[in-house]
Structure 1
Amino acid sequence: MPAHKNKKQFLFFRRLAFPLRIFLLILVVSVFIIAALARYFSASFEDYLVTHVRDMAMNQAKIIASNDSIISAVEHRDYPRLASIADKLQSDTDFDYVVIGDRNSIRLYHPNPKKIGQPMQFTKPGALEKGESYFIMGEGSIGMAMRAKTPIFNENGQVIGVVSIGYLVSKIDSWRLDFLLPMAGVFVLLLLLLMLLSWLFASHIRRQMLGMEPKQIARVVRQQEALFSSVYEGLIAVDPEGFITAINRSARKMLGLSSPGRQWLGKPIEEVVKPADFFTQEIAEQRQDVMANFNGLSVIANREAIRSGDELLGAIISFRSKDEIYTLNAQLTQIKQYVESLRTLRHEHLNWMSTLNGLLQMKEYDRVREMVQGESQAQQQLIDSLRSAFADRQVAGLLFGKVQRARELGLQMTIVPGSQLHQLPEGLDSTEFAAIVGNLLDNAFEASLRTPQGNNVVELFLSDEGDEVIIEVADQGCGVPEALREKIFEQGVSTRTDEPGEHGIGLYLIASYVGRCGGIITLEDNDPCGTLFSLFLPKVKKNNDGTIKHTDR
């Protein structure tokens, strides 16, 4: 039961905002440190004070015991003289009282005359016979005190009496308070200062994190990595000073940079791209479809400024090779889909953030918490499932974008349970494999939107078990007319005739990739309507060309 309670308390602590947790942790640590320092200083002063009082009391007792007048008065048991000397000594020193006794510890002098003639308290047996000095702490005739006792010797060195010097515990406590109270005040001021600094530090962290929690930041970073990896265009982000903050694999490949992407982060763009004017001059200005030359490569580049309010954080530059016109046209639909996916995510996030802003203005904090938790859980589950099932980041990022795009179109894209991809077919890189999957899904989306029948569900099955990589995309759309099935994979042939020139590239590109690696494509009717495309790509490239088959169910 206590463990369950502690677990609940820990979960409650984790639900607090991250800056608040930082503030509380720093505050707790500060309190413990100050408490430890206070304990150390108080214990050290306690030891010092006790030692000092003991030494002072013993020295005073020995001085009094060696006084000739005291020795003479004790020998002759001269009570009035002892009282006169003792009263004078007590007025000139800081001890609380002095008691003088004979060799049998019978009081010869006491501040209270009624106590004279009575035995002294707390005597150490045999101490006077041996001439020993000693300390005692306890309740005495005057009160709780620390006492130093030392023998009185005559001229022959014989013990004739004893002197007891007492310091009341109340006086020792007052000395202790005189030291501890100012020290406590200093520690309280120090604690208040640490609280202020902790709060300022927590507020600074909150501003730097844009009010987001670490999990939210990690999710955004993972989404950015997946989206960057899934985009075929080269992407480079720079800060206002021209230092690289992000670069994707396509950009490194086109620019001839063989080193890992992280090695280029933080380097001046002039060291990576020449000329670098497009990256450094007037980066706040948006540019679209600009012909440029990067490292001797003719490209078509776009530039978009990155802002936080009115502050310019840098710019992101996307580009494609101008010389690869055929490839650019062949993958036009795919690139357009990526842009639409990015816009979809941006649109959804802007709407989501606007809704959150409105709810925060209305102080609907419970509703804000529900929205954040729900969005975070759904996005995280999708990302985690894609990352675990598909080892290739570009393919995983592609599927993430397609799921978002299907949702925007009013469709439902389902990845069949058991789908996985840990090894690409030989002869295909991540970009080419993602182009195959992406074009198949695009065609399925279009076919599903062109018919009122069906259930608007597009299914994808992707598996690399066995000796082949299997890709199956099923829709319940308009299907492929019988007259086009024999030539649907030829360049320029499409089921859409209303916009000639805009279609007929995707399936041709797929067929070329499949044929190059010796694979097979089958085209079948789906039940109850629509089309089922099945691709079988050998993991080890075959010598013969791939074949294309179509079958009617």
Structure 2
Amino acid sequence: MFGKTPAKEFRFLRHIAFPLRIFLLLLLISLLLMAALGQYLSASFEDYLTNHVRDMAMHQAKIIASNDSLVEAVKNRDSQRLSEIVGKMATGSDFDYVVIGDRNSIRLYHPNPQQIGRPMQWTKPGALEKGESYFITGKGSIGLAMRAKTPIFDEQGKVIGVVSLGYLVSKIDSWRLDFLLPLVGVFVLILVILLLLSWFFAAHIRRQMLGMEPQQIAQVVRQQEALFGSVFEGLIAVDPDGVITAINRNARKMLGLSSPGRQWLAKPIAEVVHPASFFTEHIEQERRDVLCTFNGLNVIANRGVIWSGDELLGAIISFRSKDEISALNAQLTQVKQYVDSLRALRHEHLNWMSTLSGLLQMKEYDQVLAMVKGESQAQQDLIDFLRGFFDDRQVAGLLFGKWQRARELGLILNITPGSQLRHLPEGLDSTEFAAVVGNLLDNAFEACLNYPESDKSIELWLSDEGNEVIIEVADSGCGVPEALREVIFDQGVSTKTDAPGEHGIGLYLIASYVERCGGIITIEDNEPSGSLFTVFIPKVKIIYGSSSNDSDC
């Protein structure tokens, strides 16, 4: 219960803005420092002044006690002579009074004549007998004063009297005030300057913190770290000098950088990414969808500029592998092909139903029955074949759709008897395997359509007997020129020239899947015209060598 009291007492501070708390803290620290410094200077000056007055009083007392005229006057107990001597010595001196007594401490001279003949006060017992000098502070006949007492010796060194020289405490206090008052003024001036500096510092902190509290800044930092970590793209932030201020995990992974990421912070981007021109040149300009190469990786990069008013704070660069985007586009294209196949099937069925409707209205029932039986039997035979020999339903559906698409395009797709697929090769899922087969068939369709002399037939043989899955697609199109066979599977390479920017993805995607699983692709001429694409994919993944470029399937 008692442990919670301080938290409750200072809970109100949470409702004060952080810059104001900084200002109050600096103000409190300044006051404490000024108070401590003032106390130290005051005490030091007090010690200095006390010691100085003591030394000065004792020195003046000894000078007076050693005066020959004064010694002679003390011997003769001549108070009038002593008054004259003391009056001359007091001229130009700052002590307040002098009292002279005989060896028995009976006053021979006193500023107040009425005190002559009376015993001196604050006499140290035995001091005159021993010839000692001493210093005392106390209230005497003149008032509260600091006194220096020293003996008077004759020619034989015998003590014949005593000199008591005093400084009033009131005068010492006035000297102290003369020193402390200007010091207080200086302290007040310094305190005002510290207050102004503290206020400017607090205002600077408020601007730097964008008016946010530390808790809000901590939350923003945690959100930024979470955001950087969750973004699939690579993200790198740099300052205007090209020094890395932030980098996320995906950026390190794509660029081949080791973890943890903090070791890359505060390093020049040129030491981490090669080439680094996209990060450093014309950094004040935003850029969108720029093809770049970072550490040998082809990427599509974007650059956003960070401003604070008119001040450039840096830029943040996001990038993603161009190969991944290309592969994604190819897969989306494959999905589009599925849709096109369904559309073709629907279109054909609509035509077929229109024909049936017309025959029924014409009461040609025999033809309707024959047409229904023939169409249904052909469809059913194909479905039974695909369901019986192709265990993967996605691949079977793809082949059925491609068969329908071929009919719509005026082509003939023949699935060679004996084709079967019981198990997919290790490392390829249904979507990826269907993408391989679908792209091979699409290329065959286009090759036949673009070659007038083609007989419009395409042959497909697919088998998983033995240790490999084999896919053969033969078309009767124009074939693949010898000059392109070595590079036909590179990204962006295509035999089509009508719209180069839209081709060159399908075969690249096929090659990436097959190579990933240790397979091979061959291209041969298909007599009398066309090409024969053959794909060999091991059922069990094979990795050739130990190259770091090989990826897991």
Q: What is the match of residue 206 of structure 2?
A: 206
Q: What is the match of residue 153 of structure 1?
A: 153
State the distance in 1 between where 2:253 and 2:221 align: 22
CA contact (8 A) 2:288 2:303 kept: yes
State the distance in 2 between where 1:92 and 1:287 align: 89
Q: What is the match of residue 40 of structure 2?
A: 40
Q: What is the match of residue 61 of structure 1?
A: 61
Cα deviation, 1:364-416, whole Å, max 9, x if unaligned, reads xxxxxxxxxxxxxxxxxxxxxxxxxxxxxxxxxxxxxxxxxxxxxxxxxxxxx
Report SS of the residue matched to 2:161.
strand
Mapping of residues 232-243 of structure 1, within 5 Å = 232-243=232-243
State the distance in 1 between where 2:232 and 2:28 align: 50
Give the counterpart letter for 1:71 in structure 2: V
Report SS of the residue matched to 2:300.
strand
1:120 Cα deviation after fit:
1.0
Cα deviation, 1:410-433, whole Å, max 9, x if unaligned, reads xxxxxxxxxxxxxxxxxxxxxxxx
1:22 Cα deviation after fit:
2.1
State the distance in 2 between where 1:74 and 1:331 align: 127
Report SS of the residue matched to 1:323.
helix
Task: Answer yes or no: is 1:126 the counterpart of 2:140.
Answer: no
Root-mean-square deviation (Å): 3.2
State the distance in 2 between where 1:114 and 1:103 align: 20
Q: What is the match of residue 321 of structure 2?
A: 321
Cα 1:489/1:129, change in 2 over 3 Å? farther
Mapping of residues 476-515 of structure 1, within 5 Å = none
Q: What is the match of residue 110 of structure 1?
A: 110
Mapping of residues 141-290 of structure 1, within 5 Å = 141-290=141-290
Cα 1:110/1:247, change in 2 over 3 Å? same
Cα 1:224/1:73, change in 2 over 3 Å? same
Cα 1:230/1:491, change in 2 over 3 Å? farther
CA contact (8 A) 2:286 2:303 kept: yes
State the distance in 2 between where 1:100 and 1:4 align: 70
State the distance in 2 between where 1:11 and 1:3 align: 14
Q: What is the match of residue 138 of structure 2?
A: 138
Task: Answer yes or no: is 1:76 the counterpart of 2:76.
Answer: yes
Cα deviation, 1:146-199, whole Å, max 9, x if unaligned, reads 111112222232222211101100111111122222222222222222222222
State the distance in 2 between where 1:312 and 1:130 align: 87
1:48 Cα deviation after fit:
1.6
1:490 Cα deviation after fit:
8.9
State the distance in 1 between where 2:161 and 2:430 align: 117
Q: What is the match of residue 9 of structure 2?
A: 9
Cα 1:169/1:489, change in 2 over 3 Å? farther
- Identity rate, percent: 72
Cα deviation, 1:486-532, whole Å, max 9, x if unaligned, reads 99999999xxxxxxxxxxxxxxxxx98999xxxxxxxxxxxxxxxxx
Q: What is the match of residue 514 of structure 2?
A: none
CA contact (8 A) 2:106 2:119 kept: yes
1:4 Cα deviation after fit:
5.5
Report SS of the residue matched to 2:266.
coil
1:286 Cα deviation after fit:
4.2
Larger Cα Rg: Structure 1 or Structure 2? 2
Cα 1:239/1:202, change in 2 over 3 Å? same
Q: What is the match of residue 298 of structure 1?
A: 298
Give the counterpart letter for 1:276 in structure 2: A
State the distance in 1 between where 2:271 and 2:94 align: 81
1:310 Cα deviation after fit:
4.4
Give the counterpart letter for 2:254 in structure 1: M
Report SS of the residue matched to 2:242.
coil
Give the counterpart letter for 1:240 in structure 2: P
Report SS of the residue matched to 1:141.
coil
CA contact (8 A) 2:98 2:166 kept: yes
State the distance in 2 between where 1:131 and 1:287 align: 100
CA contact (8 A) 2:394 2:430 kept: no
CA contact (8 A) 2:306 2:315 kept: yes
Cα 1:135/1:241, change in 2 over 3 Å? closer
Cα 1:77/1:230, change in 2 over 3 Å? same
CA contact (8 A) 2:392 2:430 kept: no
State the distance in 2 between where 1:92 and 1:323 align: 103
State the distance in 2 between where 1:514 and 1:165 align: 116
1:64 Cα deviation after fit:
1.4
State the distance in 2 between where 1:54 and 1:292 align: 87
State the distance in 1 between where 2:232 and 2:120 align: 101
The farther-off stretch of 135-144 and 40-49 is 40-49
Report SS of the residue matched to 2:148.
strand
Cα deviation, 1:452-474, whole Å, max 9, x if unaligned, reads xxxxxxxxxxxxxxxxxxxxxxx
State the distance in 2 between where 1:317 and 1:198 align: 38
Q: Name the count of aligned residue pairs.
A: 347
Give the counterpart letter for 1:239 in structure 2: D
State the distance in 2 between where 1:218 and 1:490 align: 52
State the distance in 1 between where 2:117 and 2:395 align: 130
Cα deviation, 1:213-253, whole Å, max 9, x if unaligned, reads 22111111111111111111111222333332221111111
Report SS of the residue matched to 1:101.
strand
TM-score by length of 1: 0.57
State the distance in 1 between where 2:331 and 2:216 align: 33
The farther-off stretch of 24-33 and 212-221 is 24-33
CA contact (8 A) 2:235 2:250 kept: yes
State the distance in 1 between where 2:108 and 2:95 align: 19
Q: What is the match of residue 466 of structure 1?
A: none
Mapping of residues 379-418 of structure 1, within 5 Å = none
State the distance in 1 between where 2:98 and 2:33 align: 43
State the distance in 1 between where 2:224 and 2:328 align: 24
1:5 Cα deviation after fit:
5.2
CA contact (8 A) 2:107 2:115 kept: yes
State the distance in 1 between where 2:108 and 2:239 align: 94
Cα 1:220/1:39, change in 2 over 3 Å? same
State the distance in 1 between where 2:247 and 2:96 align: 83
Report SS of the residue matched to 2:258.
coil
